[in-house]
Amino acid sequence: MLKVGLTGGIGSGKSEVSKRLAERGAVVIDADKIAREVVEPGTPGLAEIVEAFGEGVLRPDGTLDRERLGSIVFTDPDKLKILNGIVHPKVGARVGELQRAAPDGAIVVYDVPLLAENNLASLYDVVIVVDASDEIRLERLRKYRDMSEKDARARIAAQASREGRLKVADIVIDNEGSLDALDAQVSKIWSDLRARP
């Protein structure tokens, strides 16, 4: 099994890369998706979040209001630390289950947004960083996720710096161009990953 850590700042296009690797045969373990699963209604994770941040982080239907919670934690490092302390252990346990279920010889891609922030590079055989300038990421967040400039800047600031992410990279994907250019880079990287022993 080849363990590949895939990361990139918010708005870098990491999800596009993850999707393309899955299409080529990678087993993708998506930390963000798992992070949503561990805080679904009825889970211990959601109960702990409500206990820490109050009922105001719930929508009327009882689901987590991620935007509201994000506006609280991404402007307060102490509150972000509390949230991470609730969610990260639960995500880690689920990732372990999925890893054990992967077939022998699989290329397992761990889509981990906070890989650099949490010093996780040593857990992987290869680390791929999807890179784009802060200006391009800001524009994408405003255009495609309908974030205010203030919220987008706060989320970018709450993550590792571009330099910090690039420092842990074995492979860098430059995602400031077209989707065709991105696809070509992913194809080459996939061939390289498959050729590794």
For the chain of 197 residues, list the mean pLDDT of each consecutive stretch of 10: 95 95 96 92 97 96 94 92 94 90 93 90 96 94 91 90 95 95 97 91
For the chain, how many structural domains are there in total?
2
Give the burial string for 86-95 (b: 16+ CB within 10 Å, else e): bbeebbeebb
- CATH number of domain containing 86: 3.40.50.300
Q: Are 5 and 123 in contact (CB under 8 A)?
A: yes
Q: At 34, is the secondary structure helix, strand, or coil?
A: helix
Q: Which residues of 12-24 are buried (b: 16+ CB within 10 A; e: fewer)?
A: bbbebbbebbeee
To which H or E segment does residue 186 belong? Answer: helix 179-195
Identify whether the C-beta of residue 178 lies closer than 8 Å to the C-beta of residue 13. no
Residues 183 and 141 both lie in one domain = yes
pLDDT at residue number 32: 84
Dist. CA 83–CA 78, nearest whole Å: 9
Closest CA to 73 of 143, 144, 159, 162: 159
111 and 126 inside one domain: yes
Residue 34 lies in a domain: no
CA angle 150–153–154, rounded 5-degree value: 85
Residue 83 lies in a domain: yes
Specify the pLDDT at position 141.
Answer: 94
Three-state SS for 110-174 is: EECCCCCCCCCHHHCCEEEEEECCHHHHHHHHHHHCCCCHHHHHHHHHHCCCHHHHHHCCCEEEE
Is the pTM higher than 0.85? The answer reads no
101 and 194 inside one domain: no
Task: State which of 70, 105, 140 marks the end of a domain.
Answer: 105
Strand, helix or coil at 106? Answer: coil
Range of the domain at 56: 39-105
Q: Give residue 170's pLDDT.
A: 97
Q: Supply the pLDDT for residue 8.
A: 95
Domain annotation covers residue 64: yes
In a domain, 31, yes or no: no
